């Protein structure tokens, strides 16, 4: 396995990320070594929160939440997934799979011997982190999730599977703006359109775009901008500029990826979402749901009301997970997909209150 490491100089000018790096080496199945980065902030004896990011971001995503959480006396641990942030980046598409990410992060978790954790995950952070909870349940005391899921789709009709596979194989690569328009009509609830086919637009865009405009996408979707700036940046991107008029936030999200060869993780992982019954992770997902069907520890959902990718996914957790019963689940208004950027205070308060309440309940 060829493994890339982003030069430290790429992160030198990042603002608002003053956190000490910590590194853990884990071994891959073929004997290669991968270095995984994490930050560890707040009192070492405080209740620990493991925050796991998704795609295409990194632990920088939690920079706004960390002061709220540590200010409440919590210890905050934020790793970078393999292929992201300051963690090492395997260079080939076949190096990445859902199962490998779970195995790598499980090895990281065991080597650091973190226990009594509150898990918080969003996007792929939830997909991977919920599997970590299932596989290492004694290390976790409670769970909070936002804008994520645990996909298990064994009964998708064959004609819909064929539609997705044909689209992936022969449709032209969607542009960024074509992709955004398509994702805007995604719904896993109404099933008015084949949701796996709509989601495949995102999968195809990521895989077939050789150098993803990650900073541009994150800045455009999470930062307040005047209409004039939005139009100017959109036009420049259409003209071929990958990162037009980059803000400090855009530069920070681009920092882990100084060249296209570093982006294989963000490109490959969307195609690993098990949205079809042909997914190699299907049985693992079934077993994970079997675990959560009996999971009695506190489990809280805090989704936004306007995320097209995951809106409504919390319903299944609320109904199936015993630990989610009678919890004060929260819907955050207008936060979009990356709630850590848009609603950091609100989501932090949800976590702080949840820990305090469940600890008080446990002491009674």
Helices (H), 54-97: 66-71
Which among 141, 254, 307, 314 is annotated as catalytic? 307
Classify the phi-psi angles of 334: left when phi > 0, otherwise alpha if psi is within -120 to 50, otherwise beta. Answer: left
Q: For residues 330 and 344, give the distance between their C-alpha atoms in angstroms, rounded to a whole number.
A: 14
Q: For residues 351 and 294, give the distance between their C-alpha atoms in angstroms, rounded to a whole number.
A: 22
Q: For residues 134 and 217, give the distance between their C-alpha atoms in angstroms, rounded to a whole number.
A: 32
Cβ of 308: how many Cβ atoms within 10 Å?
Answer: 17
Tell how strand 33-41 and strand 140-146 pair up: unpaired
Given a contact cutoff of 8 angstroms between Cβ atoms, the answer to whether 151 and 175 are in contact is no
Given a contact cutoff of 8 angstroms between Cβ atoms, the answer to whether 340 and 61 are in contact is yes
- Asked if 37 is an active-site residue, the reply is no
φ, ψ at 184 (rounded to 5°): -60, -20
Query: Residue 241 in 3-state DSSP?
Result: coil
For the record, the structure tokens of 56 come out as 């295409």
Report angle CA 172, 220, 247 to the nearest 5 degrees.
Answer: 125
**Nearest alpha carbon to residue 300 among 355, 345, 363:** 355
- Asked if 38 is an active-site residue, the reply is no
Q: For residues 230 and 190, give the distance between their C-alpha atoms in angstroms, rounded to a whole number.
A: 31
Unique residue bearing structure tokens 């079934």: 286
Specify the DSSP class assigned to residue 242.
Answer: S
**Using CA atoms in the order 303, 304, 309, 312, what is the torsion angle rounded to 10 degrees?**
60
- Asked if 22 is an active-site residue, the reply is no
Unique residue bearing structure tokens 């005391």: 141
Q: Which residues contact 223 (CB under 8 A, 6 or more apart)?
A: 247, 249, 341
| CA 170 to chain centroid | 28
Which among 123, 141, 254, 314 is annotated as catalytic? 123
Q: Which residues are catalytic?
A: 123, 307, 337
């Amino acid at each position: 396995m060829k493994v890339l490491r982003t030069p430290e100089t790429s992160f030198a000018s990042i603002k608002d990320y003053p956190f000490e790096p910590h590194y853990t080496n884990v071994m891959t199945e073929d004997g290669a070594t991968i270095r995984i980065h994490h930050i560890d902030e707040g009192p070492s004896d405080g209740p620990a929160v493991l925050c796991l990011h998704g795609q295409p971001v990194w632990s920088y995503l939690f920079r706004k939440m960390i002061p709220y959480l540590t200010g409440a006396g919590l210890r905050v641990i934020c790793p970078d997934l393999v292929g992201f942030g300051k963690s090492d980046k395997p260079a080939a598409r076949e190096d990445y799979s859902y199962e490998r990410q779970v195995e790598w992060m499980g090895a990281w978790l065991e080597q650091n011997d973190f226990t009594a954790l509150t898990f918080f995950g969003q996007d792929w952070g939830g997909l991977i982190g919920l599997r970590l909870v299932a596989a290492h349940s004694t290390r976790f005391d409670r769970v909070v999730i936002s804008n994520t899921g645990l996909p298990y789709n064994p009964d998708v009709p064959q004609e819909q599977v064929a539609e997705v596979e044909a689209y992936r194989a022969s449709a032209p690569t969607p542009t960024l703006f074509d992709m955004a328009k398509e994702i805007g009509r995604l719904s896993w609830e109404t099933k008015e359109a084949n949701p796996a086919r709509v989601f495949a637009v995102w999968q195809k865009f990521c895989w077939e775009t050789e150098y993803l405009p990650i900073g541009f996408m994150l800045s455009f979707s999470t930062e307040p901008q005047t209409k004039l700036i939005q139009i100017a940046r959109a036009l420049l991107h259409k003209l071929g500029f990958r990162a037009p008029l980059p803000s400090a936030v855009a530069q920070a999200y681009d920092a882990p990826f100084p060249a296209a060869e570093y982006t294989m993780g963000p490109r490959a992982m969307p195609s690993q979402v098990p949205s079809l019954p042909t997914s190699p992770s299907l049985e693992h997902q079934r077993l994970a749901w079997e675990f959560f069907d009996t999971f009695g520890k506190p489990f809280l959902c805090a989704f936004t009301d306007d995320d097209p990718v995951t809106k409504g996914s919390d319903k299944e957790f609320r109904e199936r997970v015993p630990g989610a019963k009678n919890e004060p689940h929260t819907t955050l208004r207008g936060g979009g997909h990356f709630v850590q950027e848009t609603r950091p205070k609100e989501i932090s308060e949800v976590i702080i209150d949840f820990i305090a309440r469940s600890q008080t309940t446990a002491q009674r």
